[in-house]
Amino acid sequence: MPRPPQIPKRNLPTPAKKLAPQQVSVNVLIHQGFGLQQQGKLKEARAIYERILKIQPNHFDALQLLGGILVVNKDYQAALELLSKAISFRPDFAEAHYNQGAALKGLNRLDETLASYDRAIAIDPSLAQAHYNRANTLQELQRFEEAITSFNTAIAKKPDYFEAFNNKGVCLKALSKLDEALLCFDAATSLFPDYAEAHYNRGSALQDLQRFEEAISSLKKALTIRPDYDFLLGDIQHAKMCLSDWSDFEAQQEKIMQKVHAGGKVSSPFPIIALADAPSVHRLCSETYIKEKFPLNMALVSIPKRTKKERIRIGYFSADFGDHPVSFLTAELFETHNKNKFELIAFSFGPNKPSQMRDRLVNAFDQFIDVSKLSDQAVAELARKLEIDIAIDLGGFTGSCRMGIFAFRAAPIQASYIGYLGTLGASYYDYLIADKTIVPTHLKEHYSEKIMHLPSYQVNDSKRQISNRVFSREELGLPPTGFVFCCFNNNYKILPHTFDSWVKILKAVDSSVLMLVANDPLVQSNLKKEATLRGMDPNRLVFGKRIPREDYLARYKSCDLFLDTYPYNAGTTASDALWSGLPVLTLMGQSFASRVAASLLQAIDLPELITSNAPEYESMAIELATNPHKLNEIKQKLAAQRLSTPLFNTPLFTQYLESAYTQAIERYWADLPPDYIDVQTESIDSR
């Protein structure tokens, strides 16, 4: 996170010359006020400046100094009026322009903010704080390269400017220049060792580099410096989960849950959905985070009522239009939308990395717009200008989220789908796309959005290619014989109680092994240690490597059964396994993330692979591993139903989704508020 703008500079008043008696009294007062202000006694200083302005309404020093205090007190409009008046008397006074910029920034008038800082710099190029705040404004406008240039100027003027080093690092991180960002965070902490923000940002960059052990060290340092650091405890726990480091797991989990219940700013929402199957807690966490980070923003006027158009205009917003699981799932959806009824516009704010998938996505949309260099407000304004009817957030609380776009209200109807598995807790999201397995009626209270209930939830790409490669057991590190369980979910989804179940299953099935994915040797070491602590030979854990996607899909054919994680189920990986012909055994809970795999199994008509508690999960896994006939029946059923059921029938799913979109926009046209939408299979006509 960036360091906030500097508190506006408070300059000494202009020197007194020959003054009338009343002016002498005012001059004494201005020095008294300034002295109090320097001591941090802003209330007392403010009273003196206001007294002066009653005597001399156009007193320049009182105007600009009081304006600075009002900025600090966040009374931005009043500050702006005073500072604008002061500037009318002394247009060559740099600090007044500087403070005016701070007031405009508080009012979110960013282009005018830049102009004020530019005027301050033109008058006094040595004003390092003006360069710094100008850079912060550019950063907020997503103009990261320009911001870096201004941060460099600020640092040149003030070599010990640790805040500028930190915020420059934040910009470099946003540009995915992580190694350069680390150098900036290191410089900031070298200049100011107790700089919590820089330690946090360093940890965040290290997480992006998947250097989790170092990340944990930096994040813990930030927490040591500032024990109440907002949302940090959850980040530390998540980084530990990425390493399968379960030291003090239960105590930390309980601490985090209690603080979320109390409305504490203890974690961002994403780590929470992997820690506990608690939809009420998930909603509380989302609402707390939204209120702090992405509150409803009323800077833009309400969207004028739209009239019916020939085509409904859908905007899909994502940082993941490329080689990412979201795109692996949605690519064919964009291609199969009915372009006679729907116009599709992509708003891409992620890295523009060339790839076959990126090219495929660009070709699927009517318009594909790179908005990575636009501010949240500018993106929302663009969406309004293009008259987007329904805006779909494909990210939510993941990666490079830009929920601020939706806080400005980019479209009359806004919905969340596929990226984040849970409620976003924001009043400005009207709908959440799900099905009745994921959000049954009795659980709707845990979601701030109205639910678009589709007959099935997860879209898939039926054009995925599986390579013809046949892996030998030896090259996969598997023993010559024995049952092969697998789980290729991310490591943070593996909780101790899930691992407990896996160990029980392996112990009950002679010569069986479990294949996992773990690139970090420390993850492998930690999991082997946990196996040993549970009395199991650690060599029964086999670790696969990340390989090209088509080969990765082929590797599933070397396995016998996919064991799902709980409470954060497999999503893309479950679809991948089923597409490759491998049955998936899941444990269904109460939260969104803990019901996704069950939704997939329902959509492919394999409900017998859904369990509801750990003993049932363990028993079913053991039975399938020791009863080849039963497992073979399930595999044959999967093969027969793979293309005849809704899960991989992308054109059918697209019709489900289009029906939901149509019902939502028809409610809008009829001046009805968003409400629960239930798409019935019988209402879908074949094309």
Query: Is the domain 312-454 a CATH 3.40.50.11380 member?
Result: yes
Question: 24 pLDDT exceeds 60?
Answer: no
pTM attached to this predicted model: 0.91
Q: pLDDT value at position 624?
A: 98
pLDDT tens profile 167-222: 999 999 999 999 999 999 999 999 999 999 999 999 999 999 999 999 999 999 99
pLDDT tens profile 622-661: 999 999 999 999 999 999 999 999 999 999 999 999 999 9
Of 501, 526, 497, 533, the C-alpha closest to 514 is: 501
Across residues 224-244, what is the average pLDDT? 97
Q: pLDDT value at position 687?
A: 41
With a CB cutoff of 8 Å and minimum separation 6, the contacts of 131 are 117, 121, 150, 151, 153, 154, 157
Of 420, 321, 297, the C-alpha closest to 369 is: 321
Q: pLDDT value at position 599?
A: 98
pLDDT tens profile 90-118: 999 999 999 999 999 999 899 999 999 99
Task: Give dist(CA 589, CA 273) in Å, integer.
Answer: 12
**Strand, helix or coil at 195?**
coil
> Do 61 and 83 contact (CB within 8 A), yes or no?
no
685 pLDDT tier (thresholds 50, 70, 90): low
> Do 67 and 79 contact (CB within 8 A), yes or no?
yes
DSSP 463: T
Across residues 307-318, what is the average pLDDT? 94
Question: Which comes out higher in pLDDT, residue 306 or 576?
Answer: 576
Question: 11 pLDDT exceeds 60?
Answer: no
Question: 14 pLDDT exceeds 60?
Answer: no
Q: What are the structural domain ranges in the chain?
A: 312-454, 484-645
Of 652, 645, 647, 603, the C-alpha closest to 338 is: 652
Question: 3 pLDDT exceeds 80?
Answer: no
Q: pLDDT value at position 202?
A: 98
Question: 684 pLDDT exceeds 90?
Answer: no
DSSP 471: -
Q: Which residue has the tokens 């404004």?
A: 137
Q: pLDDT value at position 307?
A: 85
Q: pLDDT value at position 13?
A: 44
Question: Which comes out higher in pLDDT, residue 231 or 52?
Answer: 231
Question: 546 pLDDT exceeds 90?
Answer: no
Residue 627: left (phi > 0), alpha (psi -120 to 50), or beta?
beta
Question: Which comes out higher in pLDDT, residue 132 or 31?
Answer: 132
Q: pLDDT value at position 108?
A: 87
Question: 460 pLDDT exceeds 80?
Answer: yes
352 pLDDT tier (thresholds 50, 70, 90): confident
Question: 2 pLDDT exceeds 90?
Answer: no
Question: Is residue 236 packed enough to be buried (19+ CB in 10 Å), middle (13-18) or exposed (0-12)?
Answer: buried
Domains 312-454 and 484-645 share a fold: yes
Euclidean distance between the first and final Cα of the chain, in Å? 49
Task: Give dist(CA 72, CA 78) in Å, integer.
Answer: 12
**Token reading at 570:** 């497999």
Across residues 369-397, what is the average pLDDT? 96
Of 457, 455, 450, the C-alpha closest to 668 is: 450
> Do 527 and 514 contact (CB within 8 A), yes or no?
no
1 pLDDT tier (thresholds 50, 70, 90): low
**Strand, helix or coil at 153?**
helix
pLDDT tens profile 261-291: 999 999 999 999 999 999 999 999 999 999 9
Q: pLDDT value at position 186?
A: 98
Beta bridge partners of 390: 314, 413
Across residues 243-272, what is the average pLDDT? 95
22 pLDDT tier (thresholds 50, 70, 90): low
Question: 21 pLDDT exceeds 60?
Answer: no
CATH code that applies to domain 484-645: 3.40.50.2000
With a CB cutoff of 8 Å and minimum separation 6, the contacts of 453 are 434, 435, 436, 439, 676, 677, 678, 679
Give helix 128-140 / helix 110-123 axis angle, nearest 10°.
Answer: 160
Residue 422: left (phi > 0), alpha (psi -120 to 50), or beta?
left
The one-letter amino acid at 94: A
Beta bridge partners of 513: 484
**Strand, helix or coil at 499?**
helix
Beta bridge partners of 487: 516
Task: Give dist(CA 104, CA 98) in Å, integer.
Answer: 10
DSSP 15: P
Question: 148 pLDDT exceeds 80?
Answer: yes
> Do 313 and 345 contact (CB within 8 A), yes or no?
yes
Share of the chain above pLDDT 90, in %: 88
**Strand, helix or coil at 487?**
strand
Question: 20 pLDDT exceeds 90?
Answer: no
Q: Establish how many alpha carbons lie within 13 A of residue 340's alpha carbon, considering only the half-sphere containing its beta carbon.
A: 2
> Do 356 and 321 contact (CB within 8 A), yes or no?
no
Question: 517 pLDDT exceeds 70?
Answer: yes
